[in-house]
Amino acid sequence: MCMNSSALNPYHPLYSGARRQQQSKRPKVRVHRLSRRRRLSKEAKEKARVGMLKRQMKIKNLKLYVENQSIIEENEKLRKKALLLHQENRALLSQLQKVSHPHNHFADHNNNNEH
């Protein structure tokens, strides 16, 4: 009877020990739930951040692709222009040589016909 009365007495040392054991299980569950909730929240935030970074990278990649295509087109135009200028330069140089050395042209022409 003494044990039963001490177990019911909130001021008895056995009562408080038994009660602490019962209460200590609950906060651990709450702490685990809170920890899990925090971890899941942190993971969700990280996923959102990674998703946002992926979208930003795709946009930046697309912009760079468009800029690169523009540069390639401009490069092709400049290459064609350079080719035309080179051909024009060769033609003008040929005309200049004909005008400045007309007798050499005949000599070269005659030498070519003899062979």
pLDDT digits over 65-101, tens only? 999 999 999 999 999 999 999 999 999 999 999 998 8
Q: pTM higher than 0.75 for the full model?
A: no
Reading the block at residue 53, the tokens are: 């970074």
Name the residue range of residue 54's domain: 2-114
Q: How far is CA 103 from CA 25, 45, 91, 106, 111, in A?
A: 114, 86, 19, 5, 12
User: CB neighbours of 14 closer than 8 A, spacing ≥ 6?
Assistant: 3, 6, 7
Dist CA 39 CA 55 (whole Å): 24
pLDDT tens profile 21-63:
555 555 666 777 778 888 889 999 999 999 999 999 999 999 9
Count how many domains the chain has: 1
